[in-house]
């Protein structure tokens, strides 16, 4: 294999995974020394910690005062499923999907809930569906930022202020990184391990007053597991939204989330988080513009994610390979970068087109992103040389 000169500078932090994502700059285990370990989450100290996590979420994320915020089981997946199983069925639903996780919600609604009045609006990886055809007098389920495609909605202008249906938004890769208009959103879900680099297994569920009204006035036709139940006797179980979680949370993870929120406040809050993610993503976009062997999977620049940036290898020699060969080439590039210790876990999602997926969220330092770019070129050129030698 041809040996190419390696770049001189290495990223100080090689963690560019799209989930769990990199910890905040300067993080260490000592940040968790005040965790309520060995204590009941139902004791005063546990409830206070959970309440603090909820209060800081509201403060940093600018959640309206009349919206409920709850900590729920099973990460973002659990939060979305709670919403789908508890709220849908009262009226027709429009399902909008353009990547793996959104497609999963479509499948759940059609195959598991078996709702009859469902319309599906889908698009291939790299594109957005036509939202102008969506009817917001029906319930609408969509993902704000497609983690596996790197395609996001640019804003909430497509959602009418006056609507009869509920908008249910999976925001796991956009919360704390992209400006979401809560007045247009009735249900928002996300997980701790994305933009703020927290630990997994805990989800966040944010409900508008309209969503609460639906919960209190509508009984689904199907039985609900205990961990999905948010009402009792036709009334919202308020404790879920004040720190009385449905099942036992990890108090160590709670402390870590509190630490991430506290860090967010210390750097300037939501606008500072947006700016960090934007700066990191711009480094990648600039690199792509300067190199003809790689391209952004998102076709429209206005829809390109500033967190899960998905890239495809478009070099002619690589593109001439069959799909399996292209996937093997991309995996080899990823393996080279991991072997060098400069980038971990940046391969495309298993259901997505082959390529790279680089996390650019707020916990990444821009200097590390800048240091990574020459390594992408090195890994590509190294693997292309190997491809040429194998073909000779």
Instruction: Please tell me whether residues 138 and 234 are part of one structural domain.
Output: yes
Alpha helices in 295-365 (DSSP H): 316-319, 323-339
**Confidence check: pLDDT of 90 > 60:** yes
Q: CB-based burial of residue 269 (10 Å sphere; 0-12 exposed, 13-18 middle, 19+ buried)?
A: middle
Note the pLDDT tens digit of each residue in 221-258: 999 999 999 999 999 999 999 999 988 999 999 999 99
**Confidence check: pLDDT of 9 > 60:** yes
The phi and psi torsions of 205 (rounded to 5 degrees) equal: -125, 120
**Domain with 132 in it:** 29-266
Average pLDDT of 29-58?
97
- The structure tokens listed for 306 are 């500033």
Domain CATH code at residue 214: 3.40.640.10
Q: How confident is the model at residue 335 (pLDDT cuts 50, 70, 90)?
A: very high
325 is a domain residue: yes
Q: What is the pLDDT of residue 3?
A: 75
**Confidence check: pLDDT of 269 > 60:** yes
Domain CATH code at residue 387: 3.90.1150.10
Split into its structural domains, the chain has a count of: 2
253 is a domain residue: yes
Instruction: Please tell me whether residues 322 and 216 are part of one structural domain.
Output: no
Instruction: Please tell me whether residues 53 and 141 are part of one structural domain.
Output: yes
Count of helix runs (H) and strand runs (E) in the chain: 9, 14
Given 248, 266, 284, the domain boundary residue is 266
Note the pLDDT tens digit of each residue in 154-187: 999 999 999 999 999 999 999 999 999 999 999 9
Given 216, 243, 266, the domain boundary residue is 266
Note the pLDDT tens digit of each residue in 106-161: 999 999 999 999 999 999 999 999 999 999 999 999 999 999 999 999 999 999 99
Q: What is the pLDDT of residue 5?
A: 94
Given 213, 233, 266, the domain boundary residue is 266
Instruction: Please tell me whether residues 174 and 69 are part of one structural domain.
Output: yes
Mean pLDDT for all residues in the chain:
97
Mention every residue, 6+ apart, whose C-beta is less than 8 A from residue 136.
Answer: 159, 160, 163, 164, 165, 167
Roughly what angle, to the nearest 10 degrees, separates helices 366-391 and 323-339?
130
* Neighbouring-strand partners of residue 143: 170
Q: What is the pLDDT of residue 392?
A: 78
Instruction: Please tell me whether residues 254 and 278 are part of one structural domain.
Output: no
> What percentage of the chain reaches a pLDDT higher than 70?
99
Q: How confident is the model at residue 2 (pLDDT cuts 50, 70, 90)?
A: low
Instruction: Please tell me whether residues 230 and 327 are part of one structural domain.
Output: no
């Amino acid at each position: 294999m041809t040996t190419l000169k390696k770049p001189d500078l290495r990223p100080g932090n090689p963690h560019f995974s799209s989930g769990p994502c990199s910890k905040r700059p300067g993080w260490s285990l000592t940040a968790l020394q005040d965790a309520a370990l060995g204590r009941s989450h139902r004791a005063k100290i546990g409830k206070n910690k959970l309440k603090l996590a909820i209060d800081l979420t509201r403060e940093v994320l600018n959640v309206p005062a009349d919206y409920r915020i709850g900590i729920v089981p099973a990460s973002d997946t659990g939060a979305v499923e709670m919403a789908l199983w508890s709220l849908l069925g009262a009226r027709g639903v429009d399902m909008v999907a353009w990547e793996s996780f959104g497609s999963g919600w479509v499948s759940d609604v059609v195959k598991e809930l078996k709702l009859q009045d469902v319309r599906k609006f889908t698009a291939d990886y790299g594109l957005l569906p036509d939202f102008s055809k969506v009817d917001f007098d029906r319930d609408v389920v969509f993902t704000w930022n497609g983690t596996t495609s790197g395609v996001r909605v640019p804003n909430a202008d497509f959602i009418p202020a006056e609507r009869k249906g509920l908008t249910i938004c999976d925001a796991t890769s956009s919360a704390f990184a992209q400006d979401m208009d809560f007045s247009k959103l009735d249900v928002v879900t996300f997980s701790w391990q994305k933009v703020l680099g927290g630990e997994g297994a805990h989800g966040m569920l944010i409900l508008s007053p309209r969503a609460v009204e639906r919960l209190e006035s509508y009984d689904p036709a199907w039985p609900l597991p205990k961990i999905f139940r948010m009402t009792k006797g036709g009334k919202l179980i308020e404790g879920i939204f004040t720190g009385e979680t449905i099942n036992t949370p990890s108090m160590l993870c709670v402390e870590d989330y509190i630490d991430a929120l506290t860090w967010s406040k210390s750097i300037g809050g939501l606008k500072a988080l947006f700016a960090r993610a934007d700066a990191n993503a711009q480094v990648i976009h600039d690199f792509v513009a300067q190199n003809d062997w790689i391209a952004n999977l998102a076709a429209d620049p206005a829809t390109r994610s500033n967190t899960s940036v998905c890239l495809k290898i478009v070099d002619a020699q690589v593109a001439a390979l069959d799909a399996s060969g292209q996937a093997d080439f991309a995996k080899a590039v990823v393996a080279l970068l991991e072997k060098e210790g400069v980038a971990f876990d940046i391969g495309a999602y298993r259901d997505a087109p082959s390529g790279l997926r680089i996390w650019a969220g707020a916990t990444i330092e821009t200097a590390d992103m800048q240091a990574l770019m020459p390594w992408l070129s090195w890994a590509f050129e190294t693997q292309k040389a190997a491809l040429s030698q194998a073909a000779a």
